[in-house]
Amino acid sequence: MPVISGGNVIEGSGLDAPFLNAGAPTSGGSGTYVTKAAVGSLLIDTTNGKLYIATVATGATVTWVVVGTQT
């Protein structure tokens, strides 16, 4: 089995495990997990069963985008 080495996991950034949120996340300066998310962080909406990805995450703002064409 191939082994991937040299990668860094940023603990608590959503890159080690997806964030969970009851409902759709909010984006912006007071958005969901704004100070914890990194670009590429995943968030699962546990109410509606949708997956989101952070496309912008600066620590001051975050943008969450639904993945795919989930209905």
Q: What is the pLDDT of residues 16-69, one digit of tens each?
A: 789 999 999 999 999 999 999 999 999 999 999 999 999 999 999 999 999 988
Q: Is residue 39 part of a domain?
A: yes
Q: Is residue 7 part of a domain?
A: no
The DSSP code for 1 is: -
Q: Is residue 5 part of a domain?
A: no
Nearest-angstrom CA–CA distance, 31 and 14: 15
26, two tokens? 């909010």
pTM of the predicted structure, to 2 decimals: 0.80
Number of domains in the chain: 1
Q: Is residue 6 part of a domain?
A: no
Q: 26 or 12, which is more confident? A: 26
Amino acid, res. 22: A
Q: Is residue 11 part of a domain?
A: no
Q: Is residue 55 part of a domain?
A: yes
Q: Is residue 32 part of a domain?
A: yes
Across-strand partners of 54? 64
Residue with the two structure tokens 């952070």: 54
The DSSP code for 8 is: -
Domain of 54 in residue numbering reads as 19-66
E-only strand ranges, 1-71 = 19-21, 42-45, 50-57, 62-66
